[in-house]
Amino acid sequence: MIVAGKLEKASYKLRPGDEINLSLPAAEASDLVAEQIPLNIVYEDADVIVVDKAAGLVVHPAPGHARGTLVNALLGYDPGLTMNGTNRPGIVHRLDKDTSGLLVVARNDHARESLVAQMQARTMHKEYLALVQGRLKHAQGIIDGPIGRDPRERKRMAVVNSGREARTHYETIAYYSRYTYVRVRLETGRTHQIRVHFAHLNHPVVGDAIYGNQEWRKDPPVASLSRQFLHAHKLGFNLPSGDYREFVSPLPPALQQVLDRLDANGQRS
C-alpha cells in the first residue's frame, strides 16, 4: 500500500487526510466459455440481470454440463461480467435444471454483496407455483424440516435432523381429484427445498424424477409432462440503488396446458 507516495506495511493505520494509491489487477481469465444461447431477459441495469430461465437449462457448469449452461449464455450476452476479479457472472441463487422461472444475476461485486445480504436477511421474496400429487390435508401451512444430504443416497437431499434449517410456506390455489395446485414461498433457500419438503409430506411435485414417483404417468391429462411442475413465478428484491422491484413470470404453456386438461376432464374439486 502506497500512502502519500511512500510504501507502507500492511499493518499501517490510516490517518485522516492520508492519500492512498491503489493498483487494481485486471480480471483474471477463467475457463468458462461464452456461448450465444437465447435468454429471456426481463430486466437489466448496470448492476443486475433478471432472467426468466427455461426448463432444461442448467444454471452453472458442473461435471456432465461443461457447456450450454446459463453461465455460458450470460457470458455470451455480456462478456464484461466480472466477479471477485474473475470473468464469472454473479450467480447468487439457482434453479434446478427442470425448474423454470425467475432468477437474478449480479453484474458486479457491489450488486452481489447487496443480493447476498438480502438472502441472508431473508428479505428477498421468492414465490413458486407447483402441482403436487395427492390432496394436501391443510389448505395452507408451513413445512419446517432441516434439509441435508440423504444418508442413504448422498446424491439426494432429505429432511434429516443434522440438516440446515429449512422453512417452506404454501397455500392452495386449487384442488384436483389426484393433485393440489399450490403457491409456495421460500423462507430459506436450501438445495431442492420445495421438492424435498413436499416429498417428505408424501405429496411429491408432479414430474419430479428424483423425489417423486411415476403414478402421475397413468393419468392422461398429465402423462405427457416432460418436466417437473415447478415454476419460479415471482421474485422481489431491493436493487443495489435501494429501490424495491418485483417481477412476475407467467406459468409456461406446457404447465398451463396440464391445468387446462385437468379442468377439461372435470378433475377440479
In contact, 133 and 229? CB cutoff 8 Å:
no
Confidence (pLDDT) at 22: 62
Most confident option among 61-65, 66-70, 196-200, 238-242: 196-200
Domains belonging to the chain, first-starting first, are 37-264 (3.30.2350.10)
Mean pLDDT of the chain: 90
In the predicted model, is pLDDT for residue 162 greater than 70?
Answer: yes
Q: Which of 11-20, 46-55, 126-135, 211-220 has the lowest mean pLDDT?
A: 11-20
Q: What is the percentage of the chain residues whose pLDDT exceeds 90?
A: 73
Confidence (pLDDT) at 19: 78
Q: In the structure, what pLDDT confidence band is assigned to residue 28 with cuts at 50, 70 and 90? A: very low
Higher pLDDT residue, 42 or 6?
42
In total, the chain counts a number of residues equal to 269
Mean pLDDT of 127-143: 97
Summarize pLDDT for 198-216 with one digit per residue, the tens: 999 999 999 999 999 999 9
Catalytic residues: 96
Instruction: Give this prediction's pTM.
Output: 0.85
Summarize pLDDT for 249-263 with one digit per residue, the tens: 999 999 999 999 999
Q: d(Cα 38, Cα 241) in Å, to the nearest integer?
A: 28
Helix (H) / strand (E) containing 248 = strand 244-248
